[in-house]
Amino acid sequence: MPGADSAETARMGSAKPGCGPLIPPLSESSRPMRQQIFERVRAAGFIPRVQVAKDLSVSPASVTTLTSELIDLGLLEEVSPQRDSDLGAGPGRGRPAVALGVRAAAHLVAGIKLSDREHTAVIVDFAGNLVADEAMPRQPGAMELSGLIAATETLLTRVCDRAGIGRAALTAIGLGVPGFVQSSSGVVHWSPVLAARHVPLAATLSAHLGLPVHVDNDANLVTLAELWFGAGRQLSDFAVVTIEHGVGMGLVLNHRIYRGAQGLGMELGHTKVQLDGALCRCGQRGCLEAYVADYALAREANTALNWTSREAQSVNILLESLYDHAKAGNGAARSIFRRAGRYLALGLANVVNLFDPELIILSGERMRYDYLYAGDALAEIQALALNTGRPAPRIETHAWGDLLWAHGAAALALSEVTTRLLGSPREAVAA
């Protein structure tokens, strides 16, 4: 089970070429055709015009016209001729087809994840290739807005220095924070990293940095990373559940991330699993994360194991000690993880009953604690889910580092830049 950023980077660079959702042909037609063509090329990595026309069911002449426009705009380029067989388009006979690819240098974007203990950033090019990354530790706790702005600017400067570019070379920034985020407006209604509520974070950072900034909930960014670079590229419906300092969830429906009517949906961690239950950091009681997140495990450890003398220790150190005790056979330590795993199973069963996803991905730092998803805990999902006779959805654990979240923030920026450049209505394209 990979747990380091090196393994994560390897996964990002492996498997299929290209980046972005691999949407089946004819499954979507709501976006302008030139945007669909561009995204088809970016998802494929390299692809001949004739294959684009076939995939999108438009005439080769129309594809030629629109790809010529995209080449003139500097967004696509012709690459070295390759045989059709090299591109998955049939036997390699005759003259090799000229392939199209995204002009990677057309745009650079930054992806940043701000968290309770570490801030991370990446810079990627327009084809989704990693250019540079950076991490910056911080002290836990909420920050004033001025401190968060300063930390973001410092991290951005450092990652740009690693990439050998100035800030002005960036086209946009994607930013992720934990909490309740309305991505359409860029307003953070509540976050454990911010002391204030209802902060117009996107507009404030954009004015300060002089660049477009797009903000989203960090669990949505992990989901975008899976959708653009990972296991979710070919799946129409899947869910990602993250367990870190809190519990988050992202949901993909029909190859697109679902955020809800006001952009605040999928807060699995704040669904209620116990009336008048344990106090959650959101201020309410009985939330799922109040039984599963790291501060919940630390609270249980202090109580059940009488570790009141360790209250000054960091949560990470305390949890490592709790995990070591569980591995060594301590019954109380094991029962803490077992109880948290049962609550997690309850939450996941509700996800199955509500959305019937093909795959549920468990992600985040806490997934290294395998007691949370032990066999008996996962078996409980089937007991709690509706018994319809259908196969249960697959459940996979991706315990990667924080660079995954920053990659998702970069995917958010790439998506927004692409829509801004190509998403405006155009004249109809004859099929």
Q: Domains in the chain and their CATH numbers?
A: 31-106 (1.10.10.10), 108-224+404-420 (3.30.420.40), 236-399 (3.30.420.40)
Mean pLDDT for 390-410 is 83
Q: Count other C-beta atoms under 10 Å from residue 55's C-beta.
A: 19
Residue position matching structure tokens 């039984």:
291
* CA angle at 28 for the pair 25 and 31, rounded to the nearest 5°: 120
Residue 48: which of 14, 76, 13, 20 has the closest Cα? 76
Six-digit token string for 239: 């869910």
Helix (H, G, I), strand (E, B) or coil at 150: helix
pLDDT for 400 equals 60
Lowest mean pLDDT among 199-213, 244-258, 296-310: 296-310
Type of residue numbered 351: V
CA–CA separation, 404 vs 231, rounded Å? Answer: 12
Q: 26 pLDDT band (50/70/90 cuts)?
A: low
Cβ(289)–Cβ(249) below 8 Å:
no
Mean pLDDT for 348-354 is 94
Q: What pLDDT, in 10s, does the model give residues 208-254?
A: 999 999 999 989 999 999 999 988 998 999 999 988 788 999 999 99
- Cβ contacts of residue 287 below 8 Å, gap of 6+? 269, 270, 271, 272, 273, 277, 278, 280
Dihedral, 241, 243, 248, 252 alpha carbons, nearest 10: -20
pLDDT for 168 equals 96
What mean pLDDT, rounded, does the chain reach?
86
Dihedral, 266, 268, 274, 275 alpha carbons, nearest 10: -30
Mean pLDDT for 329-335 is 89
* CA angle at 326 for the pair 323 and 330, rounded to the nearest 5°: 140
Residue 178: which of 418, 402, 419 has the closest Cα? 402
CA–CA separation, 40 vs 50, rounded Å? Answer: 12
Lowest mean pLDDT among 136-145, 154-163, 268-277: 136-145
pTM: 0.84
Mean pLDDT for 113-125 is 92
Q: What pLDDT, in 10s, does the model give residues 43-66?
A: 999 999 999 999 999 999 999 999
pLDDT for 88 equals 52
pLDDT for 310 equals 61
pLDDT for 431 equals 33
Give per-residue burial for 92-118: e unless 16+ CB within 10 Å, then b.
eeeebbebbbbbbebbbbbbbbbbbbe
DSSP annotation of 199 reads: B
Residue 128 — left, alpha, or beta (φ > 0 → left; ψ -120 to 50 → alpha)?
Answer: left
pLDDT for 103 equals 97
Q: What pLDDT, in 10s, does the model give residues 75-109?
A: 999 997 555 455 454 555 556 668 999 999 999 99
